Amino acid sequence: EIRSKLVSAQPQMQKSETLSAEDYAEYALLQRIHSLYNSESSLKNPYFQPRSGTVSSVLQIAEKDYVTFSNYNYLGLSHDPRVKAAACDAIHKYGTHAGAARMVGGEIELHRDLEHALAEFSGFEAATVGVGGYSANVSAIGYLLDKRDLILHDEYMHNSAIKGAVMSGARRIAFPHNNMEALKRLLEENRSQYRKTLILVEGAYSMDGDLVDLPAVIELKNQFGAWLMIDEAHSCGTVGATGRGVCEHFNIPTSEVELIVGTLSKSFASCGGFLAGSKKLIELLHHFCPGLLLYSTGISPANTAAALAAVQLAQAEPERVTRLQNNSILFKQLAETKGLDCRTSVPGVPIVPMMIEDEKALQLMSLLLENQFISHAVMHPVVPRDAARLRCFISADHTETQMSSMLDIIARESNTTNHTVAGQ
């Protein structure tokens, strides 16, 4: 009887209906993708295609070779036998998982080795490593700032940094992309009103392939006593004469920067994220930043070992960085010679966007697939409306023929009228 009374006292749960476009703006995009790539359509669906084999400049889908410009393999280390062997050895030695949060039993020797290697590579006093670049950004920004603080960030910051800024509770203001006048104005208007002001920028911008104006940012941060955090997800390993990132590129001491966030998934052939900065700051984050090492399991032995081997190889073989930068310069040159608009991307940065109206971009992705090339479009809401683009990631592995052949297709198609799309 008691049980039946308890049951009848439960509030009646409302079963939620289907997903709606009112609740989720992205739902409209999903419906559009479904209508474009349905079973009656002649267009190949470029999303979630499972590959087999490793990633180099070529990968396999259903036993066919495709040249890819959608994968991060900047330094060509994803398929390096030494990186793979290091991951296999780590599994044999430590098993497949860390087994706990690092502080309480999940620590393996390799974690420390990787942190030392990353600190040395990036030129900072110390580094700390967690399971993802995304969570490193969210956690560090969310932890370090609070409602007493101000965050001034470039409007093109990655979603993870924005999410961290929102989570922190700090006042958050975006400044127009790379606009140092606007940043200065905001610093002036808000001078001395907050405990701490954090300027958030990316080293190389992930949608545009351009670089932060670091000398100007450093001047402003020093003038106004602000902190600077740089997301070096795409610039660590790729930018600067030996790939050490934007400080090396602009010849600025790393001591001018409070914190960088980096990822192991782009240059370093693995999965995970890291933060690098002064010993004092990193020690604090290492012990207390929730979602990085605390309240989250340590990065797996295989991922740790692969990243460690990749960082050591990036350091020992700087010719990889040179090859990547030469490829990136050539790709942009070829694209522009063929009449494509690569926006403000900086020659040598391994992200090259090509502006293409979004309906056409959706079709072009399929056409490229039919021709055994992979390149994905980025559309609203990831980029502003009317700023859709095909975004290519260049690798040290790409050949001139691979780059030129794909660009020929893109150039030819972007000058023709739209295909008729079945199912629309």
- Binding footprint of ligand PMP on the chain (CB under 6 A): 132-134, 137, 158, 160, 202, 206, 231, 233-234, 263, 265, 273
- Minimum distance, C-beta of residue 132 to ligand PMP, in the bound complex (Å): 4
Sequence-distant (≥ 6) Cβ neighbours of residue 85 within 8 angstroms? 309
- Minimum distance, C-beta of residue 25 to ligand PMP, in the bound complex (Å): 21
- Minimum distance, C-beta of residue 212 to ligand PMP, in the bound complex (Å): 12
- How far, CA to CA in Å, does 380 sit from each of 36, 175, 211, 395? 16, 20, 22, 26
Question: Closer CB to ligand PMP, residue 134 or residue 224?
Answer: 134
Cα 239 to Cα 216: distance, rounded to the nearest angstrom: 18
- Minimum distance, C-beta of residue 319 to ligand PMP, in the bound complex (Å): 25
- Minimum distance, C-beta of residue 234 to ligand PMP, in the bound complex (Å): 6
Count of residues in the chain: 424
Question: Closer CB to ligand PMP, residue 168 or residue 414?
Answer: 168
Question: Closer CB to ligand PMP, residue 122 or residue 414?
Answer: 122
Question: Closer CB to ligand PMP, residue 265 or residue 312?
Answer: 265
Question: Closer CB to ligand PMP, residue 352 or residue 367?
Answer: 352
Cα 120 to Cα 312: distance, rounded to the nearest angstrom: 10
- Minimum distance, C-beta of residue 155 to ligand PMP, in the bound complex (Å): 14
- Minimum distance, C-beta of residue 64 to ligand PMP, in the bound complex (Å): 26
Task: Render 203-254 in DSSP notation, one character per residue.
Answer: SB-TTT--B--HHHHHHHHHHHT-EEEEE-TTTTTTSSTTS--HHHHHT--G
Cα 244 to Cα 265: distance, rounded to the nearest angstrom: 16
Q: What 3-state DSSP class applies to 58?
A: strand
Cβ–Cβ under 8 Å, residues 341 and 383: no
b/e sequence 320-348, b meaning 16+ C-beta within 10 Å: bbebbbebbbbbbebbbebebebeebbeb
Task: Quickly count: other Cβ atoms within 10 Å of residue 233's Cβ.
Answer: 28
Cβ–Cβ under 8 Å, residues 347 and 328: yes
Closest chain position to ligand PMP (CB) = 133
Residue 352 tokens, joined: 């090259």
Residue 75 tokens, joined: 């330094």
End-to-end CA distance of the chain: 58
Question: Closer CB to ligand PMP, residue 177 or residue 338?
Answer: 177
Question: Strand order of the sheet with strand 64-68?
Answer: 58-61, 64-68, 373-374
Cβ–Cβ under 8 Å, residues 78 and 314: no
Question: Closer CB to ligand PMP, residue 70 or residue 254?
Answer: 70
Question: Closer CB to ligand PMP, residue 135 or residue 254?
Answer: 135
Q: What is the DSSP letter of 201?
A: E
- Minimum distance, C-beta of residue 202 to ligand PMP, in the bound complex (Å): 5
Question: Closer CB to ligand PMP, residue 187 or residue 236?
Answer: 236
Q: What 3-state DSSP class applies to 289?
A: coil
Question: Closer CB to ligand PMP, residue 170 or residue 212?
Answer: 212
- Minimum distance, C-beta of residue 324 to ligand PMP, in the bound complex (Å): 17
- Minimum distance, C-beta of residue 131 to ligand PMP, in the bound complex (Å): 9
